[in-house]
Amino acid sequence: MESSYNRLHYRTGMICFFLSGIGAISSGIVVSLLRDRYGFSYGFTGTLVSVMSIGNMISLLIAGVLPDLIGEKATTLILCSGYAIGYTLMAFTGNPALLLFAFLTAGIAKGCAANKCTVLAGNNTDDKPRAMNLMNAWFALGALLCPFLISFTGNFGFSLPMLSVGAVGLLLWFLFLRAALPGKASVTGAAGDAKAKTDYSFLKNPVFWILTMLLFCENGAEYTVNGWLVTYYKNEEILTGTLAAYIVTVQWLFTLAGRLFLAYGIKVRNTFKALSLMGAGLSVMYIILIRMTSAVPAVIALGLFSLGIAGVYPMAVASVGRMMNSASVGVMLSIAGIGGILFPWFVGIIADNTTLRTGMAVNIIPCVGILSLSLLMLFLTGRQEKKNKGMAAG
């Protein structure tokens, strides 16, 4: 890493995304605990997952524009307090209105952490694809560890798992506090001008919007699996009791392996060809996943699906390239986050009217969307390369 880059910001982005992985993915287990304790319907359970996604989407957007008004530091500290506030509230109430607020604030913290960590890590390295895969590998590691944290603390009472995740959120807040974020405008790296106005030219770039829709599909596919799979496996009696919570570990173990492999094990020469292969693989594996009826094949299918989707998010974000700033990341991930709102909600509504297995089948749509949009980008970039070669030859 070049000396002109801000090493503290880079490290903060990596570590805080690890902590955010614990806070974000714990919600899928916590919502299952809340449903078991209070007897919530599938519809309301899906609504809680979707409300967290709404908070995530809102936060991603305002985290990109609010710094021009109150500064990066104030924006980040206000929004990222949501993990501590939300999970602490979940520990002490079964009131539906308060739980909706708790999941909303946790989603706000998730969105802000994703925005700031992406910019802090991505703009302080000369290898964005590797940095994005490594940063998201840290997130996967946090997600991998969260079931163990919740299981261990659950031995000491119902409230302890939520309180422990809230404490993780408080640690994340303190790390952002000591990161010396600028008072105004977006983080642009050590050599950037903290008072520079945000560049919105990315809004006119069609590549930006195709990548945004690709991430819309990725969010829909991933959030549905994160939010519903524990409940689905319990409902179908594929896995029972606390053992079902550990499928999150399987999911994120394979995700971590995939992201580390992309960061260090292989040099990706054509990003969109790789994304197309991932889209095809994860689509096939999801179809197999929801058709499994016994534990071992279901877990294997989940692992392979997770391996397939592991690199989609970081590679798509890295493809933004020079357009990356707080505003572009905020717009991209907030719009993409709508996928994480709609598809878990669709699953809950359809499950209430048919079966949960039928509801889970809806998630095939965003999986195929990842494949289709990756192929579109592969076609467009290939055509542009031919055009550039023709101009050079002329």
* Whether pLDDT at 390 is above 70: no
Inside any domain, residue 358: yes
**Is residue 195 in a domain?**
no
Distance of alpha carbon 120 from alpha carbon 317, whole angstroms: 13
pLDDT band for position 209 (50/70/90)?
very high
Number of domains composing the chain? 1
Give percent helix, percent strand, percent coil of the chain, each to the nearest 5.
80, 0, 20
Higher pLDDT, 338 or 101: 101
Q: Is residue 392 part of a domain?
A: no
Cα–Cα distance for residue pair 379/389, rounded to 1 Å: 16
Calculate the CA dihedral of residues 282, 287, 291, 293 and round it to 10 degrees: 10
Q: Say what the pLDDT of residue 280 is.
A: 96
Residue-range definition of the domain harbouring residue 180: 7-190+200-386
Task: Read off the pLDDT of each residue in 197-206 and give the average, rounded to a whole number.
Answer: 79
Task: Say if residues 246 and 303 touch (Cβ distance below 8 Å).
Answer: no
Q: How many CB atoms lie within 10 A of CB 152?
A: 12
Which pLDDT tens digit goes with each residue over 4-40?
678 899 999 999 999 999 999 888 889 988 988 998 8
At a CB cut-off of 8 Å and minimum separation 6, what does 285 contact? 301, 304, 305, 308
Residue 285: pLDDT above 90? yes
Q: What is the pLDDT of residue 243?
A: 66
Tokens, residue 269: 């020469």
Q: In this structure, what CATH number is given to the domain that contains residue 104?
A: 1.20.1250.20
Residue 1: inside a domain: no
Mean predicted lDDT score pLDDT of the chain:
86
User: Would you put residue 71 in left (φ > 0), alpha (ψ -120 to 50) or beta?
Assistant: left
Whether 186 shows a pLDDT value over 70: the answer reads no
Rounded CA-CA distance 227/349 in Å is 14
For 77-131, write each residue's pLDDT tens digit: 999 999 999 999 999 998 999 999 999 999 999 999 998 998 898 888 877 878 8
Predicted confidence (pLDDT) per residue in 352-373, tens digit: 899 888 999 999 999 999 999 9
Is 2 among the domain residues? no
pLDDT band at 152; cut points 50, 70, 90: very high
DSSP string across 70-83:
H-HHHHHHHHTTHH
CB 254 within 8 A of CB 269: no
Residue 366 lies inside a defined structural domain of this protein: yes
pLDDT digits 0-9 by tens, 294-336: 888 888 888 999 999 999 988 898 888 777 777 788 888 888 8
Q: What is the pTM of this model?
A: 0.74
Backbone angles phi, psi at 85, to 5 degrees: -70, -50
Which two structure tokens, joined as six digits, stand for 220?
């829909």
Residue 292: its pLDDT value, please? Answer: 85
Q: Is residue 149 part of a domain?
A: yes
Q: Is there a domain that residue 107 lies in?
A: yes
Angle between helices 128-154 and 160-177 in degrees, nearest 10:
150
State what percent of residues in the chain have pLDDT above 90.
Answer: 37
